[in-house]
Structure 1
Amino acid sequence: MANINIKTCACKGIRYCLLCGNITNDMVQDRNVAQTIEIHNYCPDCHKAWPALDLMQHPSHQGDGFEFEGIFLWTDFITEVEEQQLCQQIDQTPFVDSQSGRRKQDFGPKVNFKKRKLKCDDFSGLPNYSKALYVKMTTNSLLHDFIPVELCNLEYMPERGSAIDPHFDDFWLWGERLVTLNLLSDSYLCMTCDEHPNMEVHIPMPRRSLLVVHGPARYKWKHSIHRKDISGRRLAMTFRELSDEFRGQGTQSEMGQKLINIAFTFKGIAVG
């Protein structure tokens, strides 16, 4: 059958998915297939990264592990029944195509990161179903003062070749903590760092777990999702807080307070 160059995705530039014209499964390779990568697996019990060949479970690790700072994993953050109800509520809102085979729902201000400009005219707040999640997450000491002003729901599907390349979330607008609730399937967050170009640290993201990325894991390590780690439909709910520039005595604190006031109406409709 001849290839048909019809673009049915939202990929731009170097990004691609299995729906891009002339892209096949064989062409969609993960980074650790193309070159020799030293893989370490993160243990949430001892907060260390251990060589992948170390198959021993905590506390019986062997080999040379190292401290990996800035990860907090709250397993079973919600129940199976809560997950089902939450996904039903999420699916009542249409998803729009995003890059690299993902689909998304955005609840937050419109942002031009290159020009450092934002608009909140269409921002109506965080969705109602996120309020109970927010209340529960702030019972943890790490998140007691967490004030999210954006929620992005991302859908990953293996048949679309869903993934996301190594990147830092923006530092101008978004603050210290990135909080993600992982739904419907297990996956891994892959961490890479320029200081260790041939190393990956894989962070487990069990189904229904809440993952917090902060500190060195936020500012020193880039994060990504490999296609090979998407085994079924995955919904990722990522909450973001404001940077210091938009809080307290920051130069954009007035705008920041406006965003907080809108967010905490919990009457949000996804921004197209």
Structure 2
Amino acid sequence: SPQLSPAGSPQPHPCHCQGLEKGNFTYCPTAGLAVGNEHSEFAGWAFPFPGVFVREEFVSQAEESEIVQLMDQDDWKLSQSGRRKQDYGPKVNFKKKKLKAGGFIGLPSFSQEIVRRMKAHSVLEDFFPVEQCNLDYLPERGSAIDPHFDDWWLWGERLVSLNLLSKTVLSMSCDSEDSLQLFATLSQGICENSDRHNIDYSFPPRLVPYKDITVAIHLPRRSLVALYGDARYKWKHAIYRKHIEHRRICVTFRELSAEFTLGGKQEELGKALLEIALTFQGKPV
């Protein structure tokens, strides 16, 4: 297997927070802010956007190549919206809220190191995935996914995805009729560190409806993203066709909800499924 760089070692990178997207706001990972795009009516404005963790170069080029090669040895099934998929997880009927192991025998072996490496980051140190879904996007198929929330009954707070083969944009939107408070920023332009996007609290804030705001989270090739908190439960996420320029594979990991963990009504079932998942001996179901 390719050698991995030390887990948790800092990776310097430019901040992808300006000039890349013609929407309203772009997420700046170094500042934790959604920053108004310079050609929009919100230039010079920003607001805190919690619940997003982005880690660039989470895997190396050699690892990426090996992972995709291993995936392509198994069959891909046609999925919705021009995508193909491979599922590793329990058999679920979301309408009836029924769950059983079915043919699930674990997550794939190549994910063991990915999961281990996640735990080097505080936001994921107690993340135990019970399901993995590989999604294959191609521009020729019009691959995309509309704004949505992932299920809340079965899946827990953190959604974790590894973005392979090409960059893309995760588009965040909120249907709420409530108002969002925007703050003036002390600086604009491309930033190299969080100091470049400090909020100017001396300037009166501006109120706008949530539904008028979109936030672009730029996902470089080989980056890892985790959504939790408001980014998971308040904001819908989508991938639009215009942001699929080349083949892209998304590896999404999900954890169990409170109902299936310690003290939950279905704790024993959850424990059994997690034990299966973490054998890392699985094939797509």
Query: 1 or 2 for the larger relative contact order (CA 8 Å, sep ≥6)?
Result: 2
**Which residue of the partner structure matches residue 50 of structure 1?**
35
**Which residue of the partner structure matches residue 148 of structure 1?**
129
Measure how far apart 1:121 and its partner are.
2.2
Query: How far apart, in 2, do the equivalents of 1:264 and 1:51 lie?
Result: 42
Query: How far apart, in 2, do the equivalents of 1:266 and 1:257 lie?
Result: 15
When residues 38 and 208 of structure 1 are mapped into structure 2, their CA distance, relative to the original with a 3 A threshold, is closer
SS in 2 for 1:128: coil
Correspondence for 1:181 among 156, 162, 166: 162
Query: How far apart, in 1, do the equivalents of 2:104 and 2:122 lie?
Result: 29
Using structure 1 for the length normalisation, give the TM-score: 0.82
**Which residue of the partner structure matches residue 90 of structure 2?**
109
Measure how far apart 1:199 and its partner are.
1.8
**RMSD after superposition:** 1.5
**Which residue of the partner structure matches residue 7 of structure 2?**
none
What are the Cα deviations for residues 209-241 of structure 1, in whole angstroms up to 9, with x where unaligned?
A: 000000100000010000000000000000000
Contact 2:23–2:216 (8 Å) recurs in 1: no
Unaligned runs of at least 5 residues, structure 1: 1-36, 56-61
1:239 maps onto 2:253 in alignment: yes
AA matched with 1:166: P
Query: How far apart, in 2, do the equivalents of 1:239 and 1:226 lie?
Result: 21
SS in 2 for 1:126: coil
SS in 1 for 2:276: helix
AA matched with 2:236: K
What are the Cα deviations for residues 123-146 of structure 1, in whole angstroms up to 9, with x where unaligned?
A: 110000100101111111111110
**Which residue of the partner structure matches residue 6 of structure 1?**
none
AA matched with 2:79: S
What are the Cα deviations for residues 75-113 of structure 1, in whole angstroms up to 9, with x where unaligned?
A: 110111111111111111110000000000000011111
Unaligned runs of at least 5 residues, structure 2: 1-21, 177-209
SS in 2 for 1:66: strand
SS in 2 for 1:239: strand
1:118 maps onto 2:99 in alignment: yes
Query: How far apart, in 2, do the equivalents of 1:119 and 1:260 lie?
Result: 12
SS in 2 for 1:267: coil
Query: How far apart, in 1, do the equivalents of 2:39 and 2:230 lie?
Result: 24
What are the Cα deviations for residues 34-57 of structure 1, in whole angstroms up to 9, with x where unaligned?
A: xxx9521111110111122269xx
1:201 maps onto 2:186 in alignment: no
Using structure 2 for the length normalisation, give the TM-score: 0.79
AA matched with 2:119: T
SS in 2 for 1:124: coil
Measure how far apart 1:119 and its partner are.
1.8
Query: How far apart, in 1, do the equivalents of 2:155 and 2:175 lie?
Result: 22
SS in 2 for 1:82: helix
Query: How far apart, in 2, do the equivalents of 1:154 and 1:52 lie?
Result: 30
Contact 1:108–1:123 (8 Å) recurs in 2: yes
Correspondence for 2:234 among 220, 232, 236: 220
Query: How far apart, in 1, do the equivalents of 2:102 and 2:68 lie?
Result: 27
Contact 1:38–1:198 (8 Å) recurs in 2: no
SS in 2 for 1:224: strand
Matched length: 230
